[in-house]
Amino acid sequence: MNKAKRKAVIAGNWKMNKTPAEAKTLIEGIKPLVKDAGCGVVCCVPYVDLSVVLEAAKGTNIGVGAENCHWEKSGAYTGEISAEMLASMGVQYVIIGHSERRQYFGETNETVNKRVRAALDAGLNVILCVGESLAQREQGITSELVALQTKIALGGVSKDELKRVIIAYEPIWAIGTGKTATSAQANEVCKTIRETVASIYDADAAEALTIQYGGSMKPGNAPELLAQPDVDGGLIGGASLKPDDFAAIVKAAD
């Protein structure tokens, strides 16, 4: 991390976990453990938990995010939620392009870009996910693939709007598998993302961009990962459901 140029952000992605009652208990457990954090702290939760989490996090340093949004403001899109709906609730962040959305629900680079555009237009902060599969890494195309995902997702995003974007590098092969990219591997791809952003905008924009690592970051490996110069935080899965573990990662970022 380079705290002189950008802010570290630790964001929890709860995925499809926790009822509203369980979500309230989890947030209440996290609040006292992260109240003095020097980094940004965000919890991205299922839609049904947003109201209770927003209420429980009110007046704290915890930002609240959703896990996806649709690109249209309204319409015949059964089961979808618009960015405007999220913003109207007071939601601050939204995850876009998570690998599980791409893998299971047909997200493409183009629909990711449309969702990014809609989220920014609604005033939300975006956590944009990019990353490669194990087969793609073994083919040696990680850098090209991640650069392509980044370029397409940021199409039409101005330099000023980029200030409301965080990019999370997620090696798909390390999500929920117990495998983790080495600190050198994580930093190499985060550096590629930063260089790609510099090619789209300029060096200043790239240096100011927060880039997270999102592949099975845990208390045990967080200090080494977060010590890398181009890793500015984490998008945390399983560990975000355990207050002590999540707080330990926040502490490592501090």
CA distance 15 to 195: 30
Helices first, then strands: H and E counts in the chain = 11, 8
Of 98, 100, 107, 132, the active-site residue reads 98
Burial classification of residue 7, based on how many CB atoms lie within 10 Å of its CB (0-12 exposed, 13-18 middle, 19 or more buried):
middle
Q: Which two tokens stand for residue 29?
A: 């457990």
Of 84, 107, 132, 170, the active-site residue reads 170
Pairing of strands 211-213, 165-169: parallel
Burial classification of residue 174, based on how many CB atoms lie within 10 Å of its CB (0-12 exposed, 13-18 middle, 19 or more buried):
buried
The phi, psi pair for 3, rounded to 5°, reads -70, -15
98 is catalytic: yes
CA distance 193 to 213: 11
How many CB atoms sit inside 10 A of residue 36's CB? 10
Active site residues: 98, 170
